[in-house]
Structure 1
């Protein structure tokens, strides 16, 4: 395997071997690699335990729950429980296992669990960065396609005269979630990166509306 997870490649390979194969292109190996790169970029400025961050990054989406599943808000807790089992089998210290578990639990937007430690703040920021910018747009439309959502409501693209419904219309997801993410960043470095990616979201939405003819 290419050394995507330097300087903890051996640990990453050990953990990945214990995870089920990902069948979701928005939460696959490429996503883990991008999040790890975000983690490293943030941690270079903010600090944090690199080994703990690697373990939490690799294991944070270990249990896949589809976006339209009623158990979605439980996904990070399920992944944290799985991480506890994996790390215990590797004979990690209990305190470090619990630190990884909390970091995983708190990363999720849906779970709404406040991060209580630096590593949890870093992973939450790193993961949310991948929901912003060009990659966030790509992942949004990929997931919407998996769910069978339409691109937008041709009668009211901006939801001026109707309630937003991001399970029916992909463009609505920009207003219900993507354009709100910038406000929740936990670190100064993450916030700076988020501001730049947020601007890309805004520009894309404006361009899409112009091409639709609703701008």
Structure 2
């Protein structure tokens, strides 16, 4: 699919998307690919329609929030959003964006990351953080969790103790542990009312999945 075709998913800022998509890192990580950007944008736009905020800033932040990718198991993971924010500022500066808008995009990208633990101070930053985290939970989040575990060489679960009743949780070794160590915690940290409502539904879906998963094994 061409950048022109992909840009249509970012209406009404198709031209901005055409300018920015070539800068998006195309890697072999299917959990952080262009499909992820499209999903995050759809949710972000829905939240923006309900909550407000500048859609132009939000669109740029969505498109560039993963423009520097760092593997989940890298010691540099906590700096990934800072590196992406710096690169985004450079790209948008070259496109003639004003300083205030550069600051807005910079902060939204820096604050979106769970690993960075930066409190979002603007509405656009809160929306981007919510939209990105919504893609980490629910059925899509389940798929991404097991996909990423496979890429990292993890097992599905500990065959001897699937529910970690007699051991420490270890989501670097067992995909199922990641639900308890991180994914089940995400629904408590949403920043917008609409985001919280969406998160409650997706959280319930994950809980049901894990319950049925344990039943089947």
TM-score, normalisation: structure 2: 0.96
| Structure 1 residue aligned with 2:162 | 157
The structural deviation recorded for 1:196 is 0.3
Match of 2:130 among 93, 109, 125: 125
* Cα deviations by residue, 1:104-148 (Å, 9 ceiling, x for unpaired): 000000000000000000000000000010000000000000000
The structural deviation recorded for 1:15 is 0.5
1:135 and 2:135 are equivalent in the alignment:
no
SS of equivalent to 1:17: helix
Name the Cα RMSD after superposition: 0.7
Q: Structure 1 CA distance, aligned partners of 2:100 and 2:152? A: 39
| Structure 2 residue aligned with 1:30 | 35
Q: Structure 1 CA distance, aligned partners of 2:84 and 2:39? A: 19
C-alpha contact (below 8 Å) 2:24/2:66 kept by paired residues:
no
C-alpha contact (below 8 Å) 2:25/2:69 kept by paired residues:
no
C-alpha contact (below 8 Å) 2:92/2:102 kept by paired residues:
yes
Q: Gaps spanning 5+ residues in structure 2: where?
A: none
1:209 and 2:211 are equivalent in the alignment:
no
The structural deviation recorded for 1:203 is 0.4
SS of equivalent to 2:69: coil
SS of equivalent to 2:29: coil
Q: 4+ residue runs of structure 1 moved beyond 3 angstroms?
A: none
C-alpha contact (below 8 Å) 1:77/1:104 kept by paired residues:
yes
The structural deviation recorded for 1:13 is 1.3
Match of 1:68 among 49, 68, 73: 73
The count of corresponding residues between Structure 1 and Structure 2 is 212
Q: Structure 2 CA distance, aligned partners of 1:125 and 1:67? A: 20
| Structure 1 residue aligned with 2:178 | 173
C-alpha contact (below 8 Å) 2:126/2:192 kept by paired residues:
yes
Q: Structure 2 CA distance, aligned partners of 1:114 and 1:97? A: 18
Match of 1:145 among 150, 153, 167: 150
TM-score, normalisation: structure 1: 0.97
| Structure 2 residue aligned with 1:104 | 109
Q: Structure 2 CA distance, aligned partners of 1:54 and 1:200? A: 28
SS of equivalent to 2:16: helix
